[in-house]
């Protein structure tokens, strides 16, 4: 026999459960931004190809080893532009040269780049990750976390503070040419060699300040702030804008 009082308790519990469901449903209907904790919004740098870039007064570095990473989405991957360009005494560049080749240029290294030409199937208007790295013995070019070029190399990318013009995101180090049309994200400069596995494992996530990371810009807070802890905050030039991805 079920007593009247236990039936009431059961009804009461059922009602509470139903009310909870309705409240949960209402809460879930809201905009994502109202959900707590608030999700970080992925924002990216947008450039129109005419005078736009981010200027970064990065400190001078001597790179005995290095890794430079960038994510890019452009309508044309055969456009002779610089994605990331660091000018000190020597300069260090990752770009997209005429002829459909993603490549590097690192003054003071011999040879200067990892390959003269890299023909690869890169899809226009889609995000791709590009990296150049140097372990003191070999330099590499990686596309989407896979080494596509490798060359035995010697040398050190030296610095000269008096000759530094800093780092440019989206054009040649001079700030005057080879402008990117499209979007850029997750720019990372390291003074250490990052392995192919390390690069691939971290290319689709944000990262934290850590040893070896000398500059990091992901634009997610709506600015070109340096998130590496080294205070190399960037300034937007021209029509450069930060937009939701
Ligand atoms: Ca412009
Ligand atoms: Ca971002």
Average pLDDT over residues 85-106: 76
Mean pLDDT of 13-35: 44
Burial degree of 192 (CB within 10 A; 0-12, 13-18, 19+): middle
Distance CA 151, CA 41 (A): 38
Q: How far is the CA of 70 from the centre of ligand 2 (A)?
A: 11
Radius of gyration of the chain measured on its C-alpha atoms: 24
The pLDDT, as a whole number, for residue 120 is 66
pLDDT computed for residue 166 by the predictor: 85
Question: Over 80: is that where the pLDDT of 116 sits?
Answer: no
- 163 C-alpha to ligand 2 centroid (Å): 30
Contact between 40 and 220 under an 8 Å Cβ cutoff? The reply is yes
Angstrom distance (rounded) from CA 81 to CA 73: 13
Q: Which of 5-9, 179-183, 187-191, 215-219 bottoms out in mean pLDDT, i.e. has the lowest?
A: 5-9
Report the mean per-residue pLDDT for the chain.
83
What is the pTM assigned to this prediction?
Answer: 0.82
How many whole angstroms separate alpha carbon 224 and alpha carbon 45? 8
Ligand 2 centroid to 149 CA: how many Å? 27
> Residue 42 C-alpha to ligand 1 middle, in angstroms?
23
| Contact (CB, 8 A) for 186 and 169 | no
Q: Which of 243, 180, 223, 239 is nearest to 56 (CA)?
A: 223
Task: Give the environment of ion ligand 1: residues with CB less than 5 A.
Answer: 48, 50-52, 238-239
**What is the model's pLDDT at position 17?**
47
CB atoms within 10 A of CB 148: 18
Backbone angles phi, psi at 133, to 5 degrees: -150, 160
Q: Starting from the CA of residue 52, give the closest ligand.
A: 1
Average pLDDT for 75-88: 85
Closest ligand (CA of 43): 2
- Contact between residue 166 and residue 57 where contact means Cβ atoms under 8 Å apart: yes
On the CB side of 92, CA atoms within 13 Å amount to: 31
Residues 109, 154: Cα–Cα separation, whole Å = 6
Chain mean position to CA 168: 14
CB 94 within 8 A of CB 181: no
CA distance 201 to 154: 27
Helix, strand or coil, per DSSP, at residue 19: helix
Q: Which of 110-114, 149-153, 218-222 has the lowest mean pLDDT?
A: 110-114
Q: Check whether 222 has a pLDDT greater than 90.
A: yes
Please give the pLDDT value at position 30. Answer: 39
- Placement of tokens 């937009």 in the chain: 243
Distance 165 CA to ligand 2 centre (A): 25
CA geometry: angle at 245 spanning 99 and 216, to 5°?
Answer: 75
């Amino acid at each position: 026999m079920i007593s009247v009082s236990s039936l009431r308790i059961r009804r009461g519990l059922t009602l509470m459960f139903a009310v909870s469901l309705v409240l949960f449903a209402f809460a879930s209907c809201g905009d994502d931004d109202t959900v707590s904790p608030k999700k970080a919004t992925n924002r990216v740098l947008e450039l129109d190809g005419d005078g736009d870039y981010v200027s970064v007064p990065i400190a001078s570095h001597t790179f005995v080893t290095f890794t430079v990473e960038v994510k890019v989405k452009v309508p044309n991957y055969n456009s002779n532009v610089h994605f990331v360009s660091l000018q000190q005494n020597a300069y260090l560049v990752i770009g997209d040269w005429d002829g459909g080749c993603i490549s590097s240029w690192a003054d003071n290294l011999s040879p200067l780049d990892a390959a003269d030409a890299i023909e690869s199937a890169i899809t226009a208007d889609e995000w791709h990750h590009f990296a150049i790295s140097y372990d003191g013995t070999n330099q590499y070019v990686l596309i989407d976390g896979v080494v596509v070029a490798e060359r035995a190399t010697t040398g050190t990318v030296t610095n000269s503070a008096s000759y530094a013009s800093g780092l440019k995101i989206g054009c040649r180090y001079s700030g005057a040419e080879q402008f990117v049309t499209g979007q850029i994200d997750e720019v990372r400069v390291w003074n250490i060699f990052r392995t192919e596995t390390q690069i691939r494992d971290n290319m689709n996530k944000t990262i934290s300040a850590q040893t070896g990371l000398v500059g990091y810009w992901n634009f997610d807070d709506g600015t070109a702030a340096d998130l590496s802890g080294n205070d190399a905050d960037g300034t937007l030039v021209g029509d450069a804008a930060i937009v939701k991805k």
